């Protein structure tokens, strides 16, 4: 059976869908501007759990994942929509009120206006479709497909925190009340989309490809490589592993694995030609490797030994 | 506990959402054009049943309900998105392939392109969020809020067929194989959105308010009245009841009730000033009543006796 990713590729080919396959679809708006639009389906017990999340956390995360898609194209988010399938037992004012409050609190921060959506009851799980629209200067949306051999590979922030938080929630091995775990859990429950950084990078005009890290560094780098027809070599020592993750999970192989394959950090992963890297100096981004000519091959170098890296990706619960 | 409609009103007031509450949100696009966008959440066992529907029917209906929202604003649909939460046991190529085929068959007819969406697995029910975007000449989207006292009220096509089809599917009382029942069932499973009529009405420039009949004539007329601050008097004898419904359900009170309160016919309900009604001559629409000054009061006249009509609306399974 096909994976979700394979299935989307299959449908894309079957119906010749040229606009599908990036973080957002890009549509013509006017002479100066393109419209970006992204939809994210969040499903109870796949993408969040009611036992772990306050309703406001779920509202926050629904918007954050879509803002992150706009950020990954270098766009400015403006409008949002929410379609909800609400289980009968959750259909109460307090729950939905807090959910919308979580959404609106983050929306206000980014100047995003709720313009529509739909609400239905369900006898199944709580399902949220989060839609965000934004704008980008005409022809300037940053796609996954522009990486070139020799480009340097960068990430923002630190990696593995959200996935470490998820592991902490899943297990009773670790004391959830400790401050460092609580920081990891916050990364899982209330991710911060890198909207400002995305806009800054777009304004520089030097980014050749970009994606947000939702599935995990290895999987999302593989998406860039596949779209660009290139390969990548990353340096294990350069991966900015979340310091709280290192403190909580002391096995260095485990923390590297989480940073490589854990998803939902919503940091930006992008490529820049070596001629242009000087312009990144003032930004909180780290170089982790180089684009290669070996189409679709990911490699990781550890202690000077390169070996093939298989995309591990985000594993659902 | 609040109904879905009351809840949307509550959220709208709570967060001062000025763009929520019509069939589509209207966004600025360029000097000549506004962008329309609509989202519809279809939930298994609320909006469709897998026992009754082929996957292609569900794909068709998902798009049809959203096209109908574009039609209700007089717009031209252009782009579509699909977000799916697919139950593990439905996650197979054949099912999803046929679903997308049903969607694409209708999309092709209306020149709509699939540009994105999201796909997730779920341990719950099959949920589809159908998003359609379209265009309308600047400032020309037809809203629910423009009806004026003395305006004539019109509907397109015939009413009650889709709801009659649903009743036929729900009961074994009626022979499903008969041609007239099969026609009713088709109206339920594969509704036809009135996109061309919506565009024609918009081009005339005389329609003061419009909505598509998704919840049922009485409920949708109540939406127009509430948005416009008016009332309505309709003439029971003028309601264009589906002839197959009349043939299948011989009790005239029952067929009138279904035509008034059954939903999902996706015909257009609209108002026109008496000065302009001559321009409707060539269109397949029927006058069913008159807008009154009695804010939020619906009345129905039967055998010359007017009485108050309470919105019955679409009752979910």
**pLDDT tens-digit readout, B281-312:** 999 999 999 999 999 999 999 988 999 998 87
Helix, strand, or coil (residue A60): helix
Kindly report which listed range (A75-79, B173-177, B265-269) carries the lowest average pLDDT score: B173-177
pTM for the model stands at 0.94
Q: Which has the higher per-residue pLDDT, A310 or B66? A: B66
Q: Could you say which residues from 52 to 111 on chain A have a Cβ atom under 8 Å away from some Cβ of chain B?
A: 79, 81, 83-85, 91-93, 96-97, 100, 104
- Residues of chain A contacting residue B91, judged by C-beta atoms under 8 Å apart: 1
pLDDT exceeds 60 at position B316: no
Cβ–Cβ of A31/B30 closer than 8 Å?
A: yes
CA distance B184 to B160: 9
pLDDT exceeds 50 at position B23: yes
Position B20 confidence tier, pLDDT thresholds 50, 70, 90: confident
ipTM for this prediction: 0.92
Chain A interface includes B121 (CB < 8 A): yes
Helix, strand, or coil (residue B251): coil
Distance from CA of B43 to the nearest CA of A (A): 6
Q: Which pLDDT does position A317 carry in this prediction?
A: 40
How many degrees, rounded to 5, is the angle at CA A58 between CA A52 and CA A63? 150
pLDDT exceeds 80 at position B315: no
pLDDT exceeds 80 at position B220: yes
pLDDT per residue as tens, chain A (317 positions): 577 778 778 888 888 788 888 999 999 999 999 999 999 999 999 999 999 899 999 999 999 999 999 999 999 999 999 999 999 888 888 999 999 999 999 999 999 999 999 999 999 999 999 999 999 999 999 999 999 999 999 999 999 999 999 998 888 555 555 777 889 999 999 999 999 999 999 999 999 999 999 999 999 999 999 999 999 999 999 999 999 999 998 899 999 999 999 999 999 999 999 999 999 999 999 999 999 999 999 999 998 899 999 887 544 44
Give bridge partners of residue B152 from the DSSP assignment: B272, B290
Cβ–Cβ of A83/B41 closer than 8 Å?
A: yes
Q: Which has the higher per-residue pLDDT, B7 or A273? A: A273
pLDDT exceeds 60 at position B173: no
Q: Which pLDDT does position A316 carry in this prediction?
A: 40
Buried b / exposed e across B65-84, counting CB within 10 Å, b at 16+? bbbbbbbbbbbbbbbbbbbb
Chain B interface includes A133 (CB < 8 A): yes
- Name the residue among A162, A166, A266, A160 with its Cα closest to residue A213: A266
The DSSP element (H or E) to which B80 belongs, if any, is strand B76-87
- Residues of chain A contacting residue B113, judged by C-beta atoms under 8 Å apart: 17, 19
Q: Sheet harboring A25-28: ordered strands across?
A: A25-28, A33-43, A127-137, A76-87, A113-122
The conformation of residue B199, written as its DSSP 8-state character, comes to: H
CA distance A252 to A73: 33
Q: Which pLDDT does position B175 carry in this prediction?
A: 53
Angle between helices B195-204 and B55-72 (to 10 degrees): 10
Q: Which pLDDT does position B176 carry in this prediction?
A: 52
């Amino acid at each position: 059976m096909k994976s979700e990713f394979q299935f989307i590729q299959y449908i894309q080919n079957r119906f010749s869908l040229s606009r599908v396959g990036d973080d957002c679809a890009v549509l013509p708006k006017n002479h100066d501007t393109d419209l970006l639009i992204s939809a994210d389906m969040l499903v109870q017990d796949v993408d969040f759990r009611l036992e772990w999340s306050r309703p406001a956390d779920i509202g926050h995360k629904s918007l954050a994942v879509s803002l992150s898609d706009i950020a990954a194209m270098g766009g400015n988010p403006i409008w949002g929509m929410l379609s909800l399938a609400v289980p009968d037992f959750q259909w109460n004012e307090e729950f939905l009120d807090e959910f919308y409050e979580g959404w609106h609190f983050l929306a206000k921060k980014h100047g995003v206006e709720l313009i529509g959506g739909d609400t239905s009851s369900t006898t199944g799980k709580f399902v949220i479709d989060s839609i965000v629209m934004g704008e980008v200067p005409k022809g300037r949306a940053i796609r996954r497909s522009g990486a070139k051999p020799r480009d340097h590979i960068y990430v923002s922030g630190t990696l593995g925190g959200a996935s470490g938080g998820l592991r902490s929630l899943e297990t009773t091995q670790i004391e959830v009340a400790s401050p460092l775990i609580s920081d990891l859990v916050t990364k899982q429950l209330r991710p911060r989309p890198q909207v400002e950084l995305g806009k800054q990078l777009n304004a520089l005009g030097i980014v050749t490809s970009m994606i947000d890290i939702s599935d995990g560094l290895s999987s999302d780098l593989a998406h860039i490589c596949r779209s660009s027809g290139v390969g990548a070599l990353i340096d294990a020592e350069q991966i900015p592993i979340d310091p709280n993750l290192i403190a909580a999970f002391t096995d260095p192989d485990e923390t590297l694995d989480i940073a490589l394959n854990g998803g939902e950090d919503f940091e930006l992963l992008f490529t820049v030609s070596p001629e242009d890297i000087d312009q990144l100096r003032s930004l909180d981004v780290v170089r982790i490797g180089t684009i290669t000519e070996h189409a679709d091959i990911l490699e990781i170098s550890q202690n000077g030994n390169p070996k093939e890296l298989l995309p591990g990706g985000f594993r659902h619960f």
